[in-house]
Chains A and B, each alone.
Chain A
Amino acid sequence: MRFMILIKANANSEAGVMPSERLMTEMGQFNEELVNAGIMKAMDGLHPSTKAKRVRFAGGKTTVIDGPFAETKELLAGFWIWDCASMDEALSWVKRIPSPDDTTGDGIVEIRQIFEMDDFGEEFTPELRVQEDRLRAQLEGNA
């Protein structure tokens, strides 16, 4: 089962404060453990929402809103994708995250399960599944 681990934004991440060398070191060690355990699939950090755009689709129209966005707690600062045996395994790893923020020690992390092809119903037709397989194979080839 794949999970997306969402690291929520906070005042520091939104202000563009970069992690300290100490936190970078701790995160590096943690990431190394994740890779060694064979569960790490992807990870990245996001620039603050000052550099973001929000595009709203409504009634056939699109509206573009420039960041920054006010609702800091709903914003994302980074993520991992892990392949774990269960939600409990993912949770046990999340509890070991060094610290989401090194000046306050506060942070919010969410664990979301990623859809796999088998989670879809008949709407995901055999033809669409073939296309999905082809596109994923193409992406892996490009990587």
Chain B
Amino acid sequence: MRFMILFRANADSEAGVLLSEKLLTEMGVFTDELVSAGIMKVGEGLHPSSKAKRITFTNHHTTGDNHAIHDSDQGQREL
């Protein structure tokens, strides 16, 4: 069984505050353990939602035409 572990955003991550050397070190040790245990598949971090886009699909789309799409740069609660 594969699982996706989702880190939710907080005020710091959304403000673009980078991780301290201490936390990066602890995360490195933890990730090392996951890799050694053979359970690690992939791990990534995401830029704040200020750099993101949200696309809303609102039309029923079956044939490839009339695709109503709304782009929004407004972030709300994000991963």
Binding between chains A and B: yes
Instruction: Digitize A124-143: 1 where CB-to-B-CB distance is under 8 Å, 0 elsewhere.
Output: 11001001100100110011
State the majority secondary structure of interface residues on B. Answer: loop
Docked-complex contact A111 and B52, CB < 8 angstroms = yes
Give the chain B neighbours of A138 by CB distance below 8 A. Answer: 35
Docked-complex contact B60 and A114, CB < 8 angstroms = no
Give complex CA distance A10, B20 in Å: 36
Total residues of chain B contacting the partner, CB 8 A: 41
Given B46, B54, B57, B71, which contacts A105 in the complex, CB threshold below 8 Å? Answer: B57
Docked-complex contact A81 and B44, CB < 8 angstroms = yes
Tell me whether A115 and B55 are in contact in the complex, defined as CB-CB below 8 angstroms, given that A44-B4, A121-B18 are known contacts: no
Give complex CA distance A132, B40 in Å: 13
Residue B6 at the chain A interface, CB threshold 8 Å: yes
A31 → chain B closest CB, angstroms: 16
Give complex CA distance A138, B19 in Å: 24
- Which residues of B50-79 have CB atoms within 8 Å of chain A's CB atoms? 51-62, 64, 67, 69, 71, 77-79
Which of these binds chain B: A11-19, A32-40, A60-68, A90-98? Answer: A90-98
Residue A84 at the chain B interface, CB threshold 8 Å: no
Docked-complex contact A99 and B28, CB < 8 angstroms = no
Residue A107 at the chain B interface, CB threshold 8 Å: yes
B62 → chain A closest CB, angstroms: 7
Instruction: Digitize B1-12: 1 where CB-to-A-CB distance is under 8 Å, 0 elsewhere.
Output: 010101000000
Give complex CA distance A123, B46 in Å: 17
Which chain A residue shows the least CB distance to B20?
Answer: A123
Give complex CA distance A52, B54 in Å: 24
Residue A21 at the chain B interface, CB threshold 8 Å: no
A→B interface (CB under 8 Å) = 2, 4, 6, 42, 44, 46, 74, 76, 79, 81, 87, 91, 94-95, 97-100, 102, 104-115, 119-125, 128, 131-132, 135, 138-139, 142-143
**Known contacts A108-B57, A112-B78, A139-B35; 7 further A-B pairs (Cβ under 8 A):** A91-B71, A108-B54, A110-B52, A112-B49, A112-B52, A114-B47, A132-B28
